[in-house]
Amino acid sequence: MQRKFWKLSIFVFILTLVMTACSSGESEKASGNEDGKVTIKFHTHGNEASYNWKKTIAAFEEANPDINVDLVILSEKGDTQEAIKKLDLAAASGEQLDVLMFSDTASYAQRVSMGMVAPIDEFIEKEGYTVTDEYKVDTKIGDKYYALPGKFNPWYVLLNKDHLDKAGLEVPTDWTWDEFQTYAKELTTDDHYGTFFFGPQNGGWLEFMKLALASEAENTEFIKEDGSSNLENPLFKKTLEIRYQMEKVDKSAVPYTDIMSQKLHYRNQFFNQDASTVLIGSWMNTELGGTDQFPLEFNVAVAPYPKNTSDAEGGYTPVTTDFMAVANNSEHKEEAYKFIRWYTTEGQILQGKNIPSWNNVSNDQFGEIIDNILADTLNPEKVDKESLTNVLSNAKSSKLVSPVSYQAEIYKVVNEEYEKLIFDEQDIDETIKVTNERVQELIDSNK
């Protein structure tokens, strides 16, 4: 079923390309101005409140007076699923596409495989830089680059610093999963748990099934880069052991049954002080000092994503970013590339809404961005800025593994077998065996 869907998608897209080529004369008029300026269309899921587009685009156009940017916001509420559906529809109907923004790895990789996105290696080589030197996120798919990374949202561990102080614990600046488990155990009292894991849930939030895998530089997914199963990796087993030990033995993690039956959420658990630590993405930066919905009544600190061994290189963590790409059918690829290169560098600093993936951000600029983000919260003074800065400045993205088209089915399998483990219907070894067998069946049927 999945393969038929992607074949149909590719056919529709190729047909679109043919139709677009036939109407290139009309397209030329649409994208060019009589004054010699080039107009590029920029399709994004990001709304004005979250991305400050008016100020950002005006600054680009001032620096590049020969280019106009026509902003197309695909979802005013910032709904990424709504946005990607509208983008696919725009592509299928032959609308002008120049700059595309994708919010997640799967959406990005799938549109690359459909032929919607152009490789940008020629522009990178012409400019003479290396993506992995310039940016914290490596966006390569196969042997080509199709996007540059915008914001940098690494995962980290939120800490209730008041709980840590009461337990006599320091804010970790470098720690292992074993130490994370020890902290959670010592922080657990009659009033609250030591930690809260938000997933997995109905095939979603599978980051919580990759805990130890995600601490590595590469090979962090359930499927390897060569398309084979990664579920016999000892680090997948370690993740299951962490989850089972903390919930069933130490009783330091909120029970999975409670999470599902009571529909518990990480914001409520943390801000209501029901859990002392929460592993989550740094999109939470904008809420750390408290909001009207979730006021802050305690001091907050941040710790890095734990590593597997004390002598391992730290900093690796799941990372979300915005993938800034050039449309394959764009007639203005050079101008589109110029925009994404500017936006992912100077533009990120000027926008001031997120931590940039760009490595050439000065310490002063970095500190100013964090100050600006925290200033929009109710109690920025309750946030340990030093720990936050330390974590964000040292976090690193693992090597990107292109998602397979049937990834959702794999997630569903991993979720189902984890539930059997946590409900004591099978042990860890049986969970790994059955999960791997079911995933292998998916791999075989999708070849």
User: Tokens representing 24?
Assistant: 């290139």
Tell which of 353, 380, 407 closes a domain: 380
In CATH, what number is assigned to the domain containing residue 234?
A: 3.40.190.10
Q: Where are the alpha helices (DSSP H) in 376-427?
A: 385-394, 407-422
Per-residue pLDDT tens over the stretch 349-367? 999 889 999 999 998 999 9
For position 283, what pLDDT does the model report? 92
Q: Considering the domain boundaries, does residue 26 fall inside one?
A: no
Q: Considering the domain boundaries, does residue 330 fall inside one?
A: yes
Name the residue range of residue 231's domain: 155-318+397-445
Report the SS3 class of residue 111.
Answer: helix
In angstroms, the CA 188 to CA 163 distance is 9
Residues 246 and 200 in one domain: yes
Q: Is 373 exposed, middle or buried (0-12, 13-18, 19+ CB in 10 A)?
A: buried
Residue 351 Rama label (left phi>0; alpha psi -120 to 50; beta): alpha
Residues 283 and 223 in one domain: yes
Can the peptide bond before residue 200 be classed as cis, meaning omega within 30 degrees of 0? Answer: yes
Residues 253 and 187 in one domain: yes
Q: In which element (H, E) is residue 160 found?
A: strand 153-160
Q: What is the mean pLDDT of the chain?
A: 92
Domain count, the chain: 2
Residues 277 and 219 in one domain: yes
**Quick one: DSSP state of residue 383?**
B
245: closest CA among 179, 190, 181, 158?
181
Q: In which element (H, E) is residue 73 found?
A: strand 67-73
Instruction: For residue 402, give Cα distances in angstroms to 90, 105, 422.
Output: 24, 7, 29
In angstroms, the CA 163 to CA 276 distance is 6
Per-residue pLDDT tens over the stretch 254-310? 999 999 999 999 999 999 999 999 999 999 999 999 999 999 999 999 999 999 999
pLDDT category, 24, cuts 50, 70, 90?
Answer: very low
Q: Considering the domain boundaries, does residue 9 fall inside one?
A: no
Q: Is 76 exposed, middle or buried (0-12, 13-18, 19+ CB in 10 A)?
A: exposed
Q: Considering the domain boundaries, does residue 188 fall inside one?
A: yes
Residues 309 and 418 in one domain: yes
Residues 83 and 215 in one domain: no
Share of the chain above pLDDT 70, in %: 92
pLDDT category, 9, cuts 50, 70, 90?
Answer: low
In angstroms, the CA 443 to CA 300 distance is 43
For position 294, what pLDDT does the model report? 96
Residues 146 and 230 in one domain: no
Residues 270 and 310 in one domain: yes
Per-residue pLDDT tens over the stretch 86-134? 999 999 999 999 999 999 888 998 899 899 999 999 999 999 999 999 9
Residues 94 and 119 in one domain: yes
β-pairing verdict for 38-44 and 99-102: parallel
Cβ neighbour number for residue 255 with a 10 Å cutoff: 15
Residues 309 and 352 in one domain: no
Tell which of 380, 409, 426 closes a domain: 380
Q: Considering the domain boundaries, does residue 31 fall inside one?
A: no
Q: Considering the domain boundaries, does residue 368 fall inside one?
A: yes
Per-residue pLDDT tens over the stretch 170-219? 999 999 999 999 999 999 999 999 999 999 999 999 999 999 999 999 99
Per-residue pLDDT tens over the stretch 302-337? 999 999 999 999 999 999 999 999 999 999 999 999
Q: Considering the domain boundaries, does residue 208 fall inside one?
A: yes
Residues 212 and 97 in one domain: no
Q: Considering the domain boundaries, does residue 2 fall inside one?
A: no
Residues 308 and 327 in one domain: no
- The amino acid occupying position 232 is E
In angstroms, the CA 187 to CA 120 distance is 49
